[in-house]
A = this chain, B = another copy of it.
């Protein structure tokens, strides 16, 4: 197990998508889902070495998860198979043209039973960056402890940590999230959040600049604030930089944030400056929202410029 560029840790799920209301009983299509694995795929598609660590069931869905990750070139040496718990599921229904609704079947899943022992080997193998999200600590006590341990171990080993707050309201309250995530952010070099998630790594109700200042004080280098269709704002120690989103036809916003993160980290691995990292982040976000699926439309390296200068309806022939 050679050290990857990026190590991500979390729960990978099987997402079963319905094109209409679930209660109507239409067909479901199967997909790999999970914020951390999305980031790993995004980074791997661009040619970086990415690994994902976590726990999946010793069932058919666990096989499916592994097949998808391997297909995308994400290393899975560090994945545990849990013989006693099923792989987590989620159901995603397009309720109306504007509204997608998620139903989780992940309570008691293999992924939520993640513990410290699952992560020792992957962490020992090392990486240029460790990526964590605020979803994993919401899954269980052991998963929260494992996330904490991983952040600490990485920091101790000089591996920078990227933390995406990623609040899931169906999994825990904002108060519980804040209690777990604020200490976690102390180990991070990069913190990523949407505007309404920022105070989950700071004091309740604190404004953006206050939260950022405090994160800087605690050792964070960069704070990325995702603004949806308005792009993103990056707070670095030497100033603030904004990037707009690319103009594309949005068909599926799920996974857009993970794509943004993957683009940013890819730029970081390539040694780009902040502007370059943000540009790549915005590019991957544009691919994500203009393609169906959480990660299926992400670009390979040769495709990075595909959306440049093309308007809707373009044909390359």
Contact = CB atoms under 8 A, between A and B. Distances in A.
Contact of A310 (B26, B98, B105, B290): B98
Give the copy number.
Answer: 6
Contact of A96 (B91, B105, B170, B287): B287
A131 B103 CA distance: 33
A291 interface: yes
A168 B317 contact: yes
A67 B100 CA distance: 22
A314 to B, nearest CB: 5
A315 B23 contact: no
B20 A30 contact: no
Contact of A28 (B16, B99, B102): B16
A64 B22 CA distance: 8
Given A70-B71, A71-B67, A89-B105, A98 B314 contact: yes
A173 interface: no
Nearest to A100: B315
Contacts of A311: 98
Nearest to A89: B105
Contacts of A61: 22-23
A21 B296 contact: yes
B16 A99 contact: no
A209 to B, nearest CB: 26
A21 B249 CA distance: 16
B24 A27 contact: no
B300 A99 contact: no
A30 B27 contact: yes
B96 A297 contact: yes
Interface in A78-93: 86, 89, 91, 93
Contact of A98 (B23, B28, B249): B249
A286 to B, nearest CB: 8
Nearest to A96: B290
Given A71-B70, A96-B291, A307-B96, A317 B60 contact: no
B30 A26 contact: yes
A150 B97 CA distance: 39
B68 A70 contact: no
A254 interface: yes
A166 B27 CA distance: 29
| The 8 A-B residue pairs with the shortest CB-CB distance in the complex, in nearest-first order | A102-B317, A23-B63, A71-B71, A22-B60, A253-B313, A97-B249, A96-B290, A67-B71
15 contacts: A23-B64, A25-B67, A27-B27, A28-B28, A59-B103, A96-B287, A97-B249, A98-B249, A98-B311, A100-B313, A101-B316, A101-B317, A102-B315, A250-B312, A252-B313
